[in-house]
Amino acid sequence: MRFLLDAEQAEFGRTLGRLLAAADVPAAVRAWGTGDSAPGHAVWRRLAGTGVFGLAVPEKHGGAGFLPVELTLSFVELGRYAVPGPAVETAAAAVLLERLGDADGGLAGTWLPAIAAGDAMVSYADLAHGPYALDAATADVTFLVDGDTLRACDGCGPVQPSVDPARRLTRCAGGAVLASGPAVWAAAAQAADTARLLTAAQALGVGRRLLDDTVAYVKQRTQFGVAVGSFQAVKHRLADVLLALEFAEPLVYGAAVEWAGALQADTANHGYGATGAGIGVAMAKVAAGEAAYTAARAALQLHGALGYTDELGLSLWIRRARALRGAWGTPAECRARVLAGPAPAGPQIFHE
């Protein structure tokens, strides 16, 4: 198993980083939280221009094919810059629709080219993983899985209070039935693992950003005439964060490699559930979510609690770390997934 990114992958990540650094993403995040999605859509279009969303779409539908490592790398950068919007849900929906194929009214052929081109912002919710859909009021369509039934919701409820205002959560129900039967449940299982993996990647990026910003801050803040970063207690706190992130990173990329193999095995009719890929994804989600949360707590303390204030950009990442820790599976739920083994007997009911 290869964990090192090659030169092309590393350059792709740097390109995304430069693009997002120049896009004033914090302003887009603040606007998104108030319901103004225009700046966020501008960031989304710039991302689409790099081909990020095509990484989750097969070539026959205008994408680059399933490239899990590149997709994971992209979402680490999305987390590093706190990009708003249902990016995880759009990629998960792409996997769901691709697995269902064109048998159910041409769903894949209708939506996947638009997702690959960045023309469609899609939200996706699975009631087995919680009652809320992310940014359903802003998305072009919200796909909702309820058991073995897939619907396209035609509306949503009011936005619910969230620890991260830029994650606008609503309840969705009703809508036209697009597909039903065991194929929906099987596709939804893979979509959920996709969402969990990419949420882990975002959390890893959030944790890296929090660590970088905190290290920079303790080098410039002084107490008793010296930088606070020179104190042994501060060094130990930051070392704990670095270790957590360093342990999480290979789990996230390892799960991406394993995920690609699982999809190939499923294509060969060996069965996705029997590959055990979901276990690696769940382990990555636990490690990355906890590492980001550790980074957030350390950042808050070492900034002297300034992270509580909305005016400081640090709060955008601290709130995002808390939200991602529970999105698409809390640590307890992911640990339960690991203990369940490689082939769950049926749908698992999780609630946030």
pLDDT at 99: 87
**Mean pLDDT within 282-303:** 96
For residue 157, give the amino acid letter. Answer: G
Q: Enter the tokens of residue 223.
A: 């107490």
* 153 three-state secondary structure: strand
pLDDT at 145: 95
pTM of this prediction? Answer: 0.92
The b-or-e profile of 195-233 (16+ CB within 10 A means b, else e) is bbbbbbbbbbbbbbbbbebbbebbeeeeeeeeebbeeee
Q: Enter the tokens of residue 149.
A: 């039934």
The percentage of residues in the chain with a pLDDT greater than 90, rounded to a whole number, is 68
Q: Is the pLDDT of residue 351 over 60?
A: no
pLDDT at 242: 98
The b-or-e profile of 85-108 (16+ CB within 10 A means b, else e) is bbbbbbbbbbbbbbbbeeebeebb
Distances (CA, A) of 60 to 95, 102, 115: 14, 12, 13
pLDDT at 343: 57
Query: Which of the four pLDDT bands, split at 50, 70 and 90, describes residue 174?
Result: confident
Q: How many CB atoms lie within 10 A of CB 21?
A: 12
**Mean pLDDT within 102-119:** 82
Q: Name residues whose C-beta falls within 8 Å of residue 307's C-beta, 6 or more positions apart in sequence.
A: 296, 299, 300, 314, 315, 318
**Mean pLDDT within 200-208:** 98
Q: Is the pLDDT of residue 161 over 50?
A: yes
Q: Are 302 and 237 in contact (CB under 8 A)?
A: yes
- Give the span between the Cα atoms of 15 and 26, in whole angstroms: 19
What does DSSP say about strands 141-146 and 122-126: parallel, antiparallel, or unpaired?
Answer: parallel
Q: Considering only CA atoms, which of 198, 191, 192 is closest in space to residue 99? A: 191
Give the CA dihedral 140, 182, 335, 315, nearest 10 degrees.
0
* pLDDT tens digits, 205-253: 999 999 999 999 999 999 999 999 999 999 999 999 999 999 999 999 9
- Give the span between the Cα atoms of 165 and 32, in whole angstroms: 8
* pLDDT tens digits, 14-37: 999 999 999 999 999 999 999 999
- Give the span between the Cα atoms of 346 and 188, in whole angstroms: 12
Q: Is the pLDDT of residue 135 over 60?
A: yes
Q: Is the pLDDT of residue 179 over 50?
A: yes
- Give the span between the Cα atoms of 61 and 58, in whole angstroms: 6
